[in-house]
Chains A and B, each alone.
Chain A
Amino acid sequence: MEVRRIGLGLSPPCPAANPAALRSTRPGFQSGPPPAQGQDAPPGTALNLLRPGPSEVAQVIAEAFDAEYYLGTYPDVAAAGVDPLQHYAQVGAAEFRNPTRWFDTRDYVDANPDVQVAGCHPFWHYLVQGRAQGRPPRRLHASQRAALQAERAAVQGAAQPSPSMALLRAEALQEALAGRLTTAAGVVLSLSHDRYTRSVGGVQILVSDEQHAFNAQSVAYLHIAPATPRLCLAPAGETLPIFVTLDGAYIGTTGYADLAAALAGLRPRLPEFRRMVLHCLLGHQTGRIPALHAALAPGASVFWANDYEAVCPGYNLLRNGVEFCGAPPPDSMACRVCVHGPARAGHLLQMEALFAAVPMHVVAPSEAALHIWQAGARLPYASAQVHEYAALVPPACPARDLPGPGGSHAADLRVPLRVAFAGMPLVQKGWQGFSELAARLHGMPGCHLFHFTAELPDQVPPGVEVVPVRVSAGQRGAMTEALRAHGINLVLVLSPWPETFCLVAYEALAAGADLVALKDGGNVPDLVLKTGRGVVAADIEAVTDFFLSGDAARYAALAAAGPRPGGRLVSRGMTATLRLPGDAA
């Protein structure tokens, strides 16, 4: 047995949840009469209130209501030409709109079910009673809660079924590949999670770089990707279709066994330099890779540690999408409660089998990535090394004495802050943290927020200017140019996981901007420390303090007073510039 709170919780060992009480957990607050005491009534604190009408609500909240924020955040209200205060008092709160940047209506209702059940207007309640009772106007780490939901939805969603398509059999495939593979100076078989020629993203750009670097050496670049995208390894069993691309040109769809047979048939005529490169195994049937390896018989095989998929199916090592987990043992409690936990043991068995069958040279794009990979993966490998994706030319300027979070500085120079989030609006890229920060900074004088992106987010945070940028094979410097053109002085790279490289951080430096990173951000805080270009914060709250305290403005002023460093980002050719034991001359 346990404590019962009136209406909030008799908590019996047996089912006793009251359907009426359950209703109170639904979004929105109710407008009906408060429930009777002793049945489903909330704690007495809320019921002590008389429920006011809209006019009284408007009168009470008027002083704290931020009309400018409201109209800026909700353009539909502005377009309707209605009074923002009356709108929020009458309908806006019920739609979970926010009256100021410091009060979150949904958070408040969520955290205070008694207010919801009593049908009180949440902002009115906060001002009249909640504030004095110590109820917070918004919850910290709201972004983590959003990420928790998003991660579960992504992992628990079913893979899209494979499209029905005609498969190239071994003979046809062999014929299609023979001309190029048998006349090239070498052959690379590369695996990643999608057709890198059809989408633009970090991995796709790097694979494309690698293809061109190998092609420049007259080496043929054969790439395979699963026809069905997955956020996990594909199940064993019947062979699944894979897309085949040669030197960037789509060849067709086949199966692993057919590709292995084609390569085995061609092998006597293949050049001596042969290599297999595993970039990303999501969606692949790892049990079929050793057969490909045997058919190609490469001199060296590379496992590219672009992320931590060798450690966990949650390849960003974000437990439940919320927090860097540190790759604890698979039987740990952390894994047990993580959405990736149930699959991890089987995933690791598949990885172990692959690494046992194929001697791997592990290549990581940063020291941070290699360190975590080696500590977490516990897999046998032939060698391990760091090889950066790209380098800044000229190298980033040395450190300057600039204020960081919590610093104390005499300088009080102020320049307009032009702050950007660059790239896709993804949880793993720190989008939730940026959204949270943007809400806090909205309306802050002298601070202009931007989002440089090819893909518009579902909801643009208030006050954020969206700048369309599409990085493509032909416009690889597009992000750098856009950041530079807009005079961005700080780029927020708030990735909550240890980034293995993070191209956008280098693009920011190349544009002359400095970085704001989180301490668990892997290569990003390392880059800040290495170059002295930016600040490293413990968490989003510390980043917020950095801005609200004025330190960010002082930082930007001092940075602007010095030389404005910049440069170009030059690809290092991925594995095309690596010589590995076993490679033919």
Chain B
Amino acid sequence: MTRTCCYTSFTYSYLARARILMQTLRHAQPDWDIWALVPDEPPPGTDGPALLAGFDGVLGLDDLAVPGVRSWLFGHDLIEACTALKAAAMLQLMDRGYDQVIYLDPDIAVFHPLAPALDAAGSASIVLTPHQAAPNWQPAVIEDCERASLRFGVFNMGFVAVRADAAGRAFASWWAAQVHAACLDAPDSGIFTDQKYADLVPCLFPGVAVLRDPGCNVASWNLSARRLCIGQDGGITADGAPLRFFHFSKAGGIGDAMIRRYAWDTAVPLELLAWYKDELARQTAVAMVPPGWWAYGQYADGTPVMPAARRLYRNRPDVSAYFPEPYGSGSGSLQEWLGAHEPDCLSAIPAATAVP
């Protein structure tokens, strides 16, 4: 029997979303193990294991085969950090005996079982979902969708599935190496975190399936060409196929406007969004995590780490070598050194830790 594991990557500030994913996935695929990759530490005064109750397993920074992971992490903002460690976790889970490992972003909710879609991919070693599986023709929509895919990646890496075979392992190893070297939000350099690398995957590895099932990874970026319906049998469909999972990107923020924009003439996407936001409010109340919390987004004295400091640390091997423990405060710390030599690094806009 195939042992399947699904995991997601998040910090505690995204716990509410991750719990929605976990619970909806559990309902749809009760036979799968669900793991959490958490590049974070629990907020003071909270019970970390209790917060993560419901997951079958948890991977923390120390569980990953990433040398000097904490100092390496300092060179990355929150988004980069969460994405950069996905590949290492994928390898780790394959090493733990899973035959099939699936990654899902935490802001995804599962509606109908995923297994039939993966079965349709046959014996593929690597399964990817494109942002769009049907063309758009209106200029404004193309700007939002096709152009964005060309800039930020053809495939949405909020989902990727691999088998623990030679091709699957080769892909995960290659991906881990790429993101360890550069997992940056730098589209002008041809890099967009861990996602843009996936454009190369169908060329570099055998056994790659592109899952064009319209029920997979439905989101604002492909709603323009997928019609959602709720049938009187109680099922939800996207272009006639069961809606397997919906990606609620930036729900509660700008994502709401994008869904409203591409809901076109049906209220169903708005019904799903309203449900998701209700769930989010409920889970947020349960999680009790301070808004914006990320243990690696601040120095020991609580001062936020600025993007400029992260860039400097990443680009100056001498500095990173001299300060292998960059999060400290006080005498002899990187923070003190920055204040004396690179004061702009302490006064710029905070890194992406100011989360609503």
Contact = CB atoms under 8 A, between A and B. Distances in A.
Interface of A: 1-5, 7-19, 21-22, 24-25, 43-45, 110-113, 130, 133-135, 139-141, 144-145, 147-148, 152, 319-320, 322-329, 332-339
B143 A44 contact: yes
A13 B89 CA distance: 15
A334 B230 contact: yes
Given A8-B254, A148-B270, 10 more contacts: A9-B258, A16-B352, A17-B250, A21-B253, A25-B254, A113-B254, A140-B265, A144-B267, A332-B235, A333-B235
Contacts of B195: 1-2
A22 B255 CA distance: 9
A21 B254 contact: yes
B286 to A, nearest CB: 15
**Among A1, A324, A334, which residue has the most Cβ atoms of chain B within 10 A?**
A1
Contacts, number: 220
A24 B250 CA distance: 13
Contacts of A134: 138-141
Interface stretch (B42-50, B92-100, B103-111, B161-169): B103-111
Contacts of A16: 78-79, 352, 355
B192 A9 contact: no
Interface in B272-302: 272, 274-275, 278, 292
B220 A15 contact: no
Nearest to B293: A15
Contact of B148 (A5, A19, A21, A140): A5
Interface string B216-253: 00011100000000111111100000010001011011
B264 interface: yes
Contacts of B247: 2, 11
The 8 closest A-B pairs by CB, nearest first: A332-B234, A326-B232, A328-B234, A11-B249, A15-B355, A140-B265, A1-B195, A13-B105
A113 B272 CA distance: 20
Interface string B137-159: 01111011101110111001110
A152 B278 CA distance: 10
Contacts of B267: 141, 144-145, 147-148, 320, 322-323
Interface of B: 8-11, 13-14, 78-79, 81-83, 105-107, 111-112, 131, 138-141, 143-145, 147-149, 151-153, 156-158, 185, 187, 192-195, 219-221, 230-236, 243, 247, 249-250, 252-258, 260-261, 263-267, 270-272, 274-275, 278, 292, 352, 354-356
Contacts of A334: 230-231, 234-236
Contact of A133 (B13, B140, B235, B263): B140
A287 to B, nearest CB: 27
A131 to B, nearest CB: 11
B111 A333 contact: yes
A3 B131 contact: yes
B143 A1 contact: no
A336 B185 contact: no
Nearest to B236: A333
Contact of A17 (B139, B236, B253): B253
Contacts of A147: 267
B111 A9 contact: no
**Among B152, B221, B234, which residue has the most Cβ atoms of chain A within 10 A?**
B234
Contacts of A3: 131, 145, 148-149, 151-153, 156, 221
A325 B105 CA distance: 30
Given A9-B258, A113-B254, A134-B140, A2 B221 contact: yes
A10 B195 CA distance: 12
Nearest to B277: A152
A152 B274 contact: yes
Contact of B82 (A13, A130, A337): A13
A2 B131 contact: yes
A25 B256 contact: yes
A19 B265 contact: no
